[in-house]
Amino acid sequence: MTNSLFDISGKIALVTGSTHGLGMAMAKGLGQAGATIIVNGNSSQEKIDNAVTEYKNEGIHAIGYKFDVSNEQEVISSIKKIETEIGYIDILINNAGIIKRTPLIDMEVDDFKQVINIDLVSPFIVSKHVVRGMIERKQGKIINICSMMTELGRNTVGAYAAAKGGLKMLTKNMATEWAKYNIQVNGIGPGYFATSQTAPIRVDGHPFNDFIVGRTPAAKWGDPSDLAGAAIFLSSKASDFVNGHILYVDGGILATIGKPSNEDED
């Protein structure tokens, strides 16, 4: 019974921005649980091909499709191609995103719009065209990748926070409109994870490393594989009555206002 609840073998999962980082970590989790992974990226075909090879080396059935998630016509044509060549998409993880670290007072309007477009408008575009097949089959799972900035502000990431805050409410509205078709739409809010991008600052004595370790009740950075369980849960029958929820995988950051500097260690 327990195994069948989490069984996603044979499912087709499109994970946007899955050529590296947390997107790849979640996609690998789904792939290792038996799903076929549609690998998406837009920077280069070579990067997609290399990622597909990495998946296959781990025994995961993966196929790559290059398209821009912010371009509706590319999304429409690519989804039609996936449905024709592979099959209907059972699981969609809207992971692709960007961040521009600029104080709001210095940020160009075009840069602000670009972040909103990729981080908020793109999940709407991709979901809108994937969900049609889900509605037809009366089943599907959509997972929008949110952030700590879905709930908290931070210097220099105002556009990103605005997009990720909006993504929470978009998730809830998608759930509201599509639940009647047996489609569950939820979000995952990753905390701070040990990836190749964060490697340069994950060293003792670095101010941000010390801040994250001190701010997180678990007192460590997350391992990307920690996201796999959340992704599998929200992609499987185990979450069939979970809808419009944001699951924060953050080591407890959002559970506390943080430890005062003068508080004694245990």
Kindly list the catalytic residues. 160
Distance (Å, rounded) from C-alpha 167 to C-alpha 24? Answer: 20
Distance (Å, rounded) from C-alpha 181 to C-alpha 178? Answer: 6
Residues 6 or more apart in contact with residue 73 via CB below 8 angstroms:
none
Distance (Å, rounded) from C-alpha 203 to C-alpha 210? Answer: 8
Q: Which helix (H) or strand (E) holds 64?
A: strand 62-66
Residues 6 or more apart in contact with residue 196 via CB below 8 angstroms:
20, 21
**DSSP assignment letter at 222:** B
Dump the DSSP string for 70-130. T-HHHHHHHHHHHHHHT---SEEEE---------GGG--HHHHHHHHIIIIIHHHHHHHHH
**How far is CA 248 from each of CA 34, 187, 192, rounded to the nearest angstrom?**
24, 8, 11
Contact 142, 130 (CB under 8 A): yes
Distance (Å, rounded) from C-alpha 122 to C-alpha 206? Answer: 34
Distance (Å, rounded) from C-alpha 2 to C-alpha 59? Answer: 24
Cα 153 versus chain centre, distance: 19
Q: Which pair of structure tokens corresponds to residue 74?
A: 């590319």
